[in-house]
A = this chain, B = another copy of it.
């Protein structure tokens, strides 16, 4: 019993973010950051915004950013919500759409923040075991539930659920909210965004952290029917009216509007990913088919925990989840071509070690 702690947090186990090392310089392939800088237009917009107006509150509606997203994604402003990173957007969505009582469902292997939100907000969670190839079985999502959460592409597998499969899940769940977390969709995945017109219960969540290289700025967003967006705004305005600061609004809006830069960077990451996947495959790794900016890999001869440690000793950070079913896998973010060459060469050395 922790004195003064509320009962709701007494037993909580918070989320553990990937390491942000400060002691030495690593090739950092552990938190799915973009290896390239954000759009120069975003940086310029931030530097301009910093020079004037910081004494004033931001626009609580972040109109400039909402407008940019509406324009680029071809939706109405009323169909757009923005927040302080997609983690905050997801936390708001859990509070906006899910109730204690009926359990929400998501895969057993997925973004590990979902069960943390469930515990924090008193929402029961039921996990659906992925199949042995880490694909998503559909039938368990057709059973009665209090809501559905799907990362697509999934993390940490990087694998995509087809739009037909997603549509089938939506058809079977007309009375609860279905959240599709598309943090990684821009690296070759297919977005469910067009489906928001058909399904009033579909919320599509995305982020500027990965594909727009703005993990340091904390801007996430969501698309959905105006009624869902109103619910998210109701939650936001009951917690913090100004979740996005002036710099985040200006920088993210400029990044979203710079489509050519965005597309070019995504193509580079995809090319490097596919090349790295082939090289690791040649070294004997089992490499899951990735539509994200990371690879999820396992080697028949070397335990992942050992490789994780040895990579670290060689100056390369990747992510290792010592837990059931995925304890022999490593999640490797896609860096620059040079970084991935070093990774592949180091892996080769480690695999061949007597």
Binding site for B on A (CB under 8 A): 2-9, 12, 14-18, 20, 22, 28, 31, 33-38, 42-43, 46-47, 50-51, 53-60, 84-85, 87-88, 91, 95-99, 116-117, 119-120, 176-177, 200-201, 209, 213-218, 227-228, 230-231, 233-248, 251
Contacts and interface: CB of A to CB of B under 8 A. Distances in A.
A238 B33 contact: no
B227 A3 contact: yes
A57 B215 contact: yes
Chain copies in the assembly?
2
6 contacts: A3-B200, A22-B59, A47-B51, A88-B243, A120-B235, A217-B246
Nearest to A93: B6
B84 A240 contact: yes
A86 to B, nearest CB: 10
A129 B9 CA distance: 31
B231 A245 contact: no
Contact of A88 (B12, B42, B237, B239): B239
A56 B245 contact: no
Do most interface residues of chain A lie in helix, strand or loop, or is the interface mixed?
loop
Contacts of A244: 218
Contacts of A230: 2
A22 B57 CA distance: 13
**Which of A9, A38, A59, A239 is the most central at the interface, judged by chain B CB atoms within 10 Å of its CB?**
A239
B216 A57 contact: yes
A6 B95 contact: yes
Contacts of A237: 14-16
Given A8-B95, A14-B234, A20-B58, 16 more contacts: A3-B200, A6-B97, A7-B99, A14-B237, A14-B238, A20-B60, A31-B56, A37-B55, A50-B251, A54-B215, A54-B251, A88-B243, A117-B239, A216-B246, A218-B244, A247-B248
Contacts of A87: 239-242
Contacts of A117: 238-239
A331 to B, nearest CB: 15
Contact of A47 (B47, B60, B243): B47
A42 B5 CA distance: 35
B58 A239 contact: no
A18 B58 CA distance: 11
Given A97-B4, A215-B57, A116 B238 contact: yes
